[in-house]
Amino acid sequence: MEATTKERTFEKFAKASDMLKAISYPYRLEILKMLEDLEYHPVYEIQAYTGVESTLLSHHLNKMKDKGIIKSYRDGRFIYYKLAMKEIIKVLDCIDNCEI
């Protein structure tokens, strides 16, 4: 049975709500702002940019990775992160241009 328009809309809103919850922390938004260049960045570079202590940074990165917002790869002892959900850039642009 095919989903109705209302069901598809609700599903879309549910996914958007889940994604917005995952990025709704100032540190996470700051991390995403750094990653919006769509390049891989090592954790030590993200830590230097944000000033966040390493265990807290790891927590924030893992939460966003679990939701598919960012992705990573390991090269030896270094882990690199990149924005996976490019649509987030639109959210960041909106935040940058809003009068909050």
CATH code of the domain covering residue 9: 1.10.10.10
* pLDDT lower than 50: segments of the chain: none
User: How far is residue 65's CA from residue 79's CA, in Å, rounded to a whole number?
Assistant: 12
Domain that holds residue 87: 5-97
List, for residues 57-73, the tens digit of each pLDDT value.
999 999 999 999 999 99
β partners of residue 41: 81
User: How far is residue 93's CA from residue 91's CA, in Å, rounded to a whole number?
Assistant: 5
Q: Is 61 exposed, middle or buried (0-12, 13-18, 19+ CB in 10 A)?
A: buried
pLDDT at 38: 93
Alpha-carbon dihedral sign for residues 32, 38, 43, 47: negative
pLDDT at 27: 95
Number of domains in the chain: 1
pLDDT at 54: 93
